[in-house]
């Protein structure tokens, strides 16, 4: 079992796949409060922080360290700085490792030990040694750290959902195009395709390759994103049209003013000659 697999398994332990995610917040790779800007503080980064949100299950902040090999665990024992950095700010401190990596008698006092299930059918981890439950120290540094990581995790999940949506959209568009080729197109559909080809000629680029919005390819855009990009283009065209209209009117005014000045000079010259 590698680290990525252990991460995923631990998250499934806390979050049943497909279930509502309002029971806890899970944050990966969280720096201990007050150490994020400290040089060399990477050793104070917790692998997984769980914030329990249900009072019935215990409001808690659990810190987890993932170990996938015996050597990895022994290095942890030789360098207790990470646990010391997080100890005041957690309600429980856990070591998470496959069976055989950690011996129970090696655990420092207060640390807990969790092991993944023996089979893929089971989801819940086995608590080999119960971690000591204690009160945490709540500071502004801790709150800032958790809020910052929660916001980053939320944005990452949104990006992932958006990318999955684009993949699905791309897949459906590709299938629709393939089906259209094999089944033939209705006359009104072909007419609209012809209009799109004319539009591409005017743009001087294929719609698929055109620099829409933030540079996203057309076949990876959602309908809403495409509508927004087209609205921006429309507004830009309107501004160009208004600018051209103003320049035209300014030209006419300049031409009229020149004619008026010429006539005034003629009248002036006529009077001087008289």
pLDDT in tens, 184-232: 667 777 777 777 777 777 766 666 665 555 566 666 666 666 667 667 7
Q: Provide the 3-class DSSP secondary structure of residue 17.
A: coil
Of residues 163 and 135, more confidence is placed in: 135
> What pLDDT does residue 212 have?
56
> What pLDDT does residue 258 have?
76
Which range among 70-74, 113-117, 123-127, 167-171 shows the weakest confidence by mean pLDDT? 167-171
Sign of the four-CA dihedral 199, 203, 206, 209: negative
Q: Residue ranges per domain, the chain?
A: 3-152, 160-207, 222-274
| pLDDT tens digit sequence for 64-117 | 999 999 999 998 888 877 788 999 999 999 999 999 999 999 999 999 999 999
Burial of 212 (0-12, 13-18, 19+ CB in 10 A): buried
pLDDT category, 145, cuts 50, 70, 90?
confident
Of residues 245 and 113, more confidence is placed in: 113
Residue 39 confidence (pLDDT) above 60: no
CA nearest neighbour of 118 among 108, 129, 126, 127:
126
The count of C-alpha atoms lying within 13 angstroms of the C-alpha of 162, restricted to the half-sphere facing its C-beta, is 13
Q: What share of the chain is helix, strand, coil (3-state, %, to 5)?
A: 55, 15, 30
> What pLDDT does residue 140 have?
87
């Amino acid at each position: 079992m590698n680290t990525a697999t252990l991460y995923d398994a631990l998250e499934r332990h806390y979050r049943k796949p497909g279930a509502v995610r309002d029971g806890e917040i899970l944050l990966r790779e969280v720096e201990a409060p007050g150490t994020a800007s400290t040089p060399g503080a990477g050793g104070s980064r917790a692998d997984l922080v769980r914030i329990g949100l249900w009072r019935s299950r215990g409001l808690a902040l659990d810190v987890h360290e993932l170990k996938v090999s015996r050597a990895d665990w022994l290095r942890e024992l030789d360098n207790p700085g990470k646990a010391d950095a997080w100890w005041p700010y957690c309600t429980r401190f856990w070591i998470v490792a496959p069976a055989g990596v950690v011996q129970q008698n090696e655990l420092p006092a207060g640390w807990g030990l969790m092991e993944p299930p023996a089979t893929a059918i089971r989801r819940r981890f086995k608590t080999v040694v119960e971690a000591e439950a204690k009160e945490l120290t709540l500071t502004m540094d801790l709150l800032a750290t958790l809020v910052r990581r929660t916001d980053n995790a939320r944005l990452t999940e949104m990006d992932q959902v958006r990318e999955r949506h684009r993949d699905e959209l791309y897949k459906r568009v590709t299938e629709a195009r393939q089906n259209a080729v094999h089944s033939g197109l209705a006359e009104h559909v072909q007419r609209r395709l012809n209009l799109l080809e004319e539009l591409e000629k005017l743009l001087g680029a294929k719609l698929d390759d055109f620099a829409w919005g933030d540079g996203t390819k057309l076949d990876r855009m959602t309908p809403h994103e495409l509508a927004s990009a087209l609205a921006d283009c429309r507004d830009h065209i309107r501004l160009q049209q208004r600018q051209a209209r103003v320049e035209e009117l300014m030209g006419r005014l300049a031409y009229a003013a020149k004619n008026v000045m010429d006539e005034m000079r003629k009248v002036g010259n006529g009077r001087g000659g008289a």
